[in-house]
Amino acid sequence: MPNIDDDAKTWQLEQAGRVGEAVRQRRRALKLTAAALSERTRALGFPISRVAISKIESNTRAGKLDVAELIVMAAALEIAPVLLLYPGLLDEVVRYVPNGPDRRSRTALGMFTGKLASRPVEPNADAPVTTLGVEMPVLSGDSDGNEPLQLMNRYDRIGSLAIEAVHKADTDDPDERRQAERMLERAQEDNEIVVQRMRALGMKVRDWDMREMLNPNPGPSDGGGVR
């Protein structure tokens, strides 16, 4: 156990206490006893005892809370883990780190999930811009620590636009179909820029030509259904 000062210990207890109260409220909303919740965690493969759950809820474990416990309890409670960490959305005041400023819980949530930068990022005039207007970082050895999450969000957004284009192409109007095909072409171009950056950072991403969605060619599964 690291040697921490009283303020850091208070912060640790605040985090655990907030999670414990969120677990209690969610468990009661689902009309589960602590024993029933324990049984759910056992079925998920990481059993958390009824006594441990009671101590987590009452914050009587000296602030101790394992990542594994957080993930499994959230799954058992059918809720995202971050909503156990920051249940007071939108405007509950929390401390993201012991020596950091007070923040609204939605700001802390954004920092935790990578939607908000944990440090200021200066705009880069040399950064390429995709045809959808999404600025991309210059390909280099430098990277913001949250960039993989930001890239994943962009990748998903471009995929949604591609699916929208496919739906629009399902028409007998030739002009509307051509417009949808151009939209899909732009999405494919943007996707290639994003994928290039993802692979430069060592991220694993499958090849996907979005234009093939207009003329699907069923074949052996390539595992694309796994997300």
Residue ranges per structural domain of the chain: 6-113, 117-227
For 146-163, what is each residue's pLDDT tens digit? 788 788 888 888 989 999
Average pLDDT over residues 203-224: 68
When mean pLDDT is compared across 47-61, 122-136, 169-183, the lowest value belongs to: 122-136
Cβ(123)–Cβ(115) below 8 Å: no
pLDDT at residue 41 is higher than 50: yes
Cα 59 from Cα 52, distance rounded (Å)? 10
Residues in the chain: 227
The 3-state DSSP class for residue 94 equals strand
Cβ(154)–Cβ(201) below 8 Å: no
Cα 74 from Cα 48, distance rounded (Å)? 12
Average pLDDT over residues 45-56: 97
Average pLDDT over residues 30-55: 97
For 165-202, what is each residue's pLDDT tens digit? 889 888 889 899 899 889 999 999 999 999 998 888 88
Cβ(126)–Cβ(135) below 8 Å: no
Q: What is the mean pLDDT of the chain?
A: 83
| Domain 6-113 coded CATH 1.10.260.40 | yes
